[in-house]
């Protein structure tokens, strides 16, 4: 499914296209896509909220599949290995950020489905050093949502300072938050969930939330940390108002509509707002190990490759039950 020019997802900007099978360059592997989960970032690429870097481009960055071929110079991978691909497509590996374990901040980083072709396809190539091993057992369509929504949600919790017993707020309750609540509950954290959707509130209660409500409602307990998943600056302010002193709001969004004016009294008391930028390879390895141990359960809505526009339309309108997954 190829994007040649951004446009409203309701105009179906992705086109089903036959292209030559890609071949792995030196240092790369070729992955046969078993499933590719779709997320709001793919929607933002297609609609142009994230300015195009390469066109035409094949979106999709949560790939679960198997190695089909190995390029020259690649060690540690062989045909048939189970493999996953994340948002991070590559880094410079030499800057101060890369050398200090903060490759997510690398100014030369590239991203799957934005800088290079992604997983809304039957095959995708990737740098071998960013591909992550996947466990045998769970179906590809159940593992794919872990590879962005799960990893970035996990990073957001860590950026916000999660620790056992911390009082956690989740603002928005889509595919990423569905996994984050399972991590928080595993750590013994009481969780408050804010969302406009009554269906999502009931799902949150079923997963162990102690309180559910709308964005502008105040949880019955002050929050030690909050993660906002909705791409709205107004939601960030609501989360900030719910924090205890010393608490942190982590903004889990690559694109935010705006940040409205903030009353300093809501920020005072050493409260803070942190952005969450991309992920590292270590985030991926850590989260996949944790998710297997909990184990994290995912809920998926399956779409054939030709229906990728429809999957993104359902994400745009908040209709997806769990995670939308594209299956070639």
- Residue position matching structure tokens 């190695």: 67
- Which pLDDT score, from 0 to 100, does residue 258 have? 86
What pLDDT, on a 0 to 100 scale, did the predictor assign at position 321? 79
Q: Are 28 and 58 within one domain?
A: yes
- CB of 152 closer than 8 Å to CB of 176: yes
* Chain segment 1-59, per-residue pLDDT in tens: 999 999 999 999 999 999 999 999 999 999 999 999 999 899 999 999 999 999 999 99
CA distance 77 to 79: 7
In total, the chain counts a number of residues equal to 328
Are 141 and 158 within one domain? no
Which pLDDT value is given to residue 174? Answer: 87
pLDDT at 257: 84
Closest CA to 174 of 11, 316, 5, 275: 316
Same domain, 183 and 138: no
3-state secondary structure 81-122: CEEEECCEEECCCCCHHHHCCCHHHCCCCEEECCCECCCCCC
- What pLDDT score does 23 carry? 97
Q: At which residue do the structure tokens 């996953």 appear?
A: 84
């089903």: which residue's tokens?
16
12 and 133 in one domain?
yes
Q: Are residues 231 and 108 in the same domain?
A: no
Same domain? For 269 and 319 the reply is no
| φ/ψ (deg, to 5) at 126 | -155, 155
pLDDT digits (tens, 9 = 90+) for 255-274: 788 889 999 999 999 999 99
Question: For the whole model, what pTM was predicted?
Answer: 0.92
Burial of 73 (0-12, 13-18, 19+ CB in 10 A): exposed
Please tell me the total count of domains within the chain. 2
Taking 70 as the pLDDT cut, the residues of the chain under it are none
Instruction: Residue 319: give the domain boundaries.
Output: 2-148+280-286+295-327
**What is the full DSSP assignment across 243-274?**
EEEEEEEEE--S--S------HHHHTTT-EEE
Q: Are 218 and 241 in contact (CB under 8 A)?
A: yes
Same domain, 135 and 20: yes
239 and 114 in a common domain: no
Question: What is the per-residue pLDDT for 253?
Answer: 83
**Residue 160 · residue 184 · CB < 8 Å:** no
Whether residues 138 and 190 share a domain: the answer is no
Residues 71 and 178 placed together within one structural domain of the fold = no
Provide the pLDDT for residue 231: 85
CATH code for position 260: 3.40.50.720
Is the same domain home to 58 and 130?
A: yes
Sequential DSSP letters for 113-167? TTTB--SSSSEEEEETTT-EE--SSS-HHHHGGGGTHHHHHHHHHHHTT--TT--
Q: In this structure, are 70 and 144 located in the same domain?
A: yes
């Amino acid at each position: 499914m190829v994007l040649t020019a951004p446009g409203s997802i309701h105009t179906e900007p992705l086109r089903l296209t036959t292209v030559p099978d890609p071949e792995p360059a030196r240092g790369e592997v070729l992955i046969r896509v078993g499933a590719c989960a779709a997320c709001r970032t793919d929607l933002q690429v297609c609609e142009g909220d994230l300015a195009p870097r390469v066109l035409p481009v094949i979106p999709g960055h949560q790939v679960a599949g198997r190695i089909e071929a190995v390029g020259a110079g690649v060690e540690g991978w062989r045909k048939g290995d189970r493999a996953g691909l994340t948002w991070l497509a590559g880094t410079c590996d030499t800057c101060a950020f890369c050398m200090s374990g903060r490759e997510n901040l690398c100014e030369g980083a590239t991203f799957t489905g934005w800088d290079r072709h992604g997983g809304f396809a039957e095959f995708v190539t990737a740098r071998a050093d960013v591909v992550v091993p996947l466990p045998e057992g769970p179906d590809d369509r159940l593992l794919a949502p872990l590879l962005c929504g799960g990893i970035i949600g996990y990073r957001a919790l860590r950026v916000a300072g999660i620790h056992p017993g911390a009082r956690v707020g989740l603002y928005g309750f889509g595919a990423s938050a569905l996994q984050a609540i399972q991590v928080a509950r595993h750590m013994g954290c009481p969780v408050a969930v804010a969302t406009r959707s009554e269906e999502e509130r009931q799902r949150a209660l079923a997963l162990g939330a102690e309180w559910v409500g709308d964005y502008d409602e105040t949880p019955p307990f002050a929050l030690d940390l909050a993660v906002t998943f909705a791409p709205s600056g107004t939601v960030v302010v609501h989360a900030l108002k719910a924090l205890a002193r010393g608490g942190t709001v982590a903004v889990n969004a690559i694109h935010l509509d705006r940040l409205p004016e903030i009353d300093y009294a809501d920020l005072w008391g050493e409260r803070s707002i942190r952005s969450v930028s991309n992920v590292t390879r270590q985030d991926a390895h850590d989260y996949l190990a944790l998710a297997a141990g909990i184990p994290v359960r995912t809920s998926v809505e399956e779409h054939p490759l030709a229906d990728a526009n429809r999957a993104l339309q359902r994400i745009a309108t908040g209709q997806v039950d769990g995670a939308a997954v594209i299956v070639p």
